[in-house]
């Protein structure tokens, strides 16, 4: 099965569990893509001792997952790039 998951938060526990679900689906033989939107595009900056989001993301990628991000939501986008009405933060 093909599975697409949207992550739109930078809340540690939620992001961690989204990545756990995505990795679980990969291990069940599914094709999984994770799309980062809004605050979710900055998930790599989450630091929480209880929920190691960075390690969970590395596991997901190592297991064959794909991570995509909204260009207007990423921290590297200029303020002018962030003017997309569908992608306001």
Q: Is 70 helix (H, G, I), strand (E, B) or coil?
A: coil
**Closest Cα to residue 86, out of 41, 49, 37, 51?**
37
Q: Which pLDDT tens digit goes with each residue over 38-89?
A: 999 888 899 999 999 999 999 999 999 999 987 765 555 444 444 443 443 3
Ordered alpha helix ranges (H), 1-89: 12-27, 53-62
Prediction pTM value: 0.78
Q: Which pLDDT tens digit goes with each residue over 49-60?
A: 999 999 999 999
Q: Identify the bridge partners of residue 2 per DSSP, sorted by sequence position.
A: 31
Which domains are seen in the chain, by residue range?
Answer: 2-83 (3.40.1260.10)
């Amino acid at each position: 099965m093909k599975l697409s998951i949207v992550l739109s938060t930078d809340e540690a526990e939620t992001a961690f569990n989204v990545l756990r679900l995505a990795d679980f689906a990969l291990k069940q033989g599914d094709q999984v893509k994770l799309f980062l939107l809004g605050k979710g595009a900055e998930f790599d900056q989450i630091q929480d001792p209880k929920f190691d989001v960075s390690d969970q993301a590395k596991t997901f990628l190592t297991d064959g997952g794909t991570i995509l991000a909204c260009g207007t939501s990423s921290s590297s986008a200029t303020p002018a790039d962030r003017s997309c009405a569908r992608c306001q933060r």
